[in-house]
Structure 1
Amino acid sequence: MNNLQKNGYAKYDLMTSLDYEGIEADYKEILDYFEDLPIDDYAPEANRYRRYSRALVLPTSGTIEWLPTMQRDGEEFSAYFQGKFNPEHAGSYREFHSIGPSIQNNRLLQEIIMANYRETFWKEEDQIMPIHVGVHFVKLMVESDEDRAVSSPDCLHQDGEPFTFAHLVERSNVEGGTNAIGIPEVRGRQPEEADEGDLHEIFEITKPLESYGVYDSKVSHYVSPVEKGEDDTPGVRSVILIDYQLTVVADMDE
């Protein structure tokens, strides 16, 4: 039993554990890609930028297959549905600009996806079907002292997918971006509104590929808004979020 299964969350240092020849160049390619993420069309005032794509992990072969995208005005989009779990977009589909093929094929991104997958756990009968993977590239960026960049949802929450992992790509000249892990019952609250005993840990990820994962049914989680630090450069906090869920088989009795 790993820490994710035992505690409901776990922390990682993937730059160390995934170390291979060429990892720095692969990381730099991902870091550069984050510079031009498009604005989140669903919250243009939140100083949030993002791309999203979907893939399958095939358990028998341990390979990754990226799913097709949709065409909108000559651009590629991928759909995301979080059901009731995001109070800001409950019950609605959102379409995000897709992650480009060159980054989908980046070795480091694929290594991260598979490292996360190996941390997950499923019933034996579930592993005969592909595991669905959602990959979010999310950047919070503030350019003035008055700006705030906010994650969605801005409260302790659960995602609805069984497992979600967050990997830091860049943290530069920011205040905030603090993570909190709590019991499921405090979802919908701010960390300061929860009793101290209902929060497992409050921490920050600060180094490239410093990461954490959550087992959704066992915990709630949160990241605080980002504000600009003391330097004259923009404040940036960029992360890769990766979620994992089962292939759902239709109930023929419905």
Structure 2
Amino acid sequence: MSRLKDNGFEYYTLDELKAKTYYKQDLEAITSVFDELPQDEYAPHLNRYRRYARAVIMPGSHRLEWLPKTIIDDNSYYEYFQGSFNPEYTDEYRRFPALPEEMMHNALLEDIIRFDFQQTFWMKEDALMPVHAGIHFVKLCVNEAGETAVSSPNNLHQDGEPFTFAHLIRRRNVKGAMNAISTPANRGQMPDNLAPGELTASFYLENPLESYGVYDPLVTHYVGTVEKGDFNIPGERSAILIDFQPTVVSDSEQTSSMKGLTDQMIFV
């Protein structure tokens, strides 16, 4: 049974990846990238840091190919677009610094992407083509008491891609960062404003590779603000977010795999 397919939300521990011989070394390499993430230039006042990359995955073989970067003034970027789904950046392209080249040869990262892809399901016509994967490294980090770090958008929301998965990499000296899942009817709401029972789930990611996934048409999701904890070190919540969508999309809301007809959808 797939809870993701039935309910639009599922929690994962990725224990099978933690048993890999390369796990410790590759996780350390991934974690080190978060140490040097550049500030999100679209929200410099929100204590958010990020890098991004794009890839395609072939149905059947699950072979992963990284897409070319945009080079501007000798710096590498990838473009990101959410259409109308992010009210803070409606119909606006954003350009994020690319992941370091060594991440595109990191076996653990590739296996995380493949694990996520194996949880997804598609209408047959969408499953015929390669599937686009967006890989976000996002850090919420505060250095001083009283500061907050804020995700985007800062409410219960949908992303506009059929699937999004979140994988914790590091959480330290943090207050907050609660994850919440609700229904599409509560899109744009804050979890604290909902009546009892309107949240499908609320939880905290605490350990490396503690994860969850959502099927966008069936749920909304949220991660709360980060505040510094009680110790004299920065408060940090670092995570990898991976989204999937068909490679040929004219209007995401018209994509057949976004219509929520899970009883007609197949795993690839």
- Shorter-chain TM-score: what band? over 0.9
Secondary structure of the 1:59 match is coil
Residue 249 of structure 1 deviates from its aligned partner by 5.9
Corresponding letter in the other structure for 1:78 = Y
2:173–2:230 CA contact under 8 A, matched in 1: yes
Rounded Cα–Cα distance in structure 2 between residues aligned with 1:122 and 1:199? 26
1:32 is matched with: 32
2:59 is matched with: 59
Corresponding letter in the other structure for 1:108 = L
TM-score (norm 1): 0.96
1:135–1:241 CA contact under 8 A, matched in 2: yes
Q: Does 1:21 align with 2:21?
A: yes
1:245 is matched with: 245
CA RMSD of superposed structures (Å): 1.2
Corresponding letter in the other structure for 2:2 = N
Rounded Cα–Cα distance in structure 1 between residues aligned with 2:249 and 2:219? 26
1:180 is matched with: 180
User: What does residue range 116-155 of structure 1 map to in structure 2 within 5 Å?
Assistant: 116-155=116-155
1:182–1:201 CA contact under 8 A, matched in 2: yes
2:22–2:107 CA contact under 8 A, matched in 1: no
Residue 197 of structure 1 deviates from its aligned partner by 2.4
Rounded Cα–Cα distance in structure 2 between residues aligned with 1:227 and 1:161? 29
1:60–1:128 CA contact under 8 A, matched in 2: no
Corresponding letter in the other structure for 2:216 = D
Rounded Cα–Cα distance in structure 2 between residues aligned with 1:11 and 1:234? 27
Query: Any stretches of 5+ residues in structure 1 without a counterpart?
Result: none
Rounded Cα–Cα distance in structure 2 between residues aligned with 1:198 and 1:130? 36
2:82–2:92 CA contact under 8 A, matched in 1: yes
Residue 146 of structure 1 deviates from its aligned partner by 1.9
User: What does residue range 152-231 of structure 1 map to in structure 2 within 5 Å?
Assistant: 152-231=152-231
Rounded Cα–Cα distance in structure 2 between residues aligned with 1:241 and 1:61? 23
Rounded Cα–Cα distance in structure 2 between residues aligned with 1:43 and 1:250? 28
Residue 248 of structure 1 deviates from its aligned partner by 1.8
- Over 3 Å counting, the alpha-carbon distance change for 1:6 and 1:44 in structure 2 is same
TM-score (norm 2): 0.91
Question: What stretches of structure 1 move > 6 A for 4+ residues in a row?
Answer: none
Corresponding letter in the other structure for 2:45 = E
Residue 125 of structure 1 deviates from its aligned partner by 2.6
1:8 is matched with: 8
1:13–1:211 CA contact under 8 A, matched in 2: yes
